[in-house]
Amino acid sequence: MNKYEIMFIVKATMEEAQVKEAANNMKKIVEDLKGKVVSFKEMGERKLAYAIKKEISGYYFVMTIEATKEVVKEFDRKASIDESILRHLVIKLDEE
C-alpha cells in the first residue's frame, strides 16, 4: 500500500455538526475500503484566496492515509460528488 496525503475543504456556511459529519464521512470512505488513516488534522476555518462555488471561506482538513490506488480513486469520486466538499487534493507521498 502507498501513502497519500489528502486535503479537503468543507463549506463554512454549514452548521458545526454538519462540518464534523462531512469530515468524518471522508474519513469513513477510506476506512470502509480497507485503507488506513494514519493521521487526521482539522486546520480550522480559513478565508479562500478566491470564491469556490460562491463560498469565500471553508474548513480545511488534512489526512495521511495508507491505501491502494483503488481506494484513492473511489475517495476522489465520492469527494467530487459530495456537495459539502468545496475542493480536495490527493498527493502520493514518497516511499521512505
CATH classification of the domain holding 40? 3.30.70.60
What does pTM read for this prediction?
0.91
Q: Give the largest Cα separation in the chain, rounded.
A: 40
Place of cell 470564491: 51
Q: Tell me the pLDDT of the chain averaged across its residues.
A: 94
Summarised one tens digit per residue, pLDDT across range 68-93 is 999 999 999 999 999 999 999 999 99
Range of the domain at 87: 2-92
How would you classify the pairing of strands 85-92 and 55-67? unpaired
Contact 2, 73 (CB under 8 A): no
Give residue 95's Cα distance to chain centre. Answer: 21
| Number of folded domains that form the chain | 1
Q: Which three cell numbers stand for residue 8?
A: 479537503
Summarised one tens digit per residue, pLDDT across range 24-57 is 999 999 999 999 999 999 999 999 999 999 999 9
How would you classify the pairing of strands 36-52 and 55-67? antiparallel
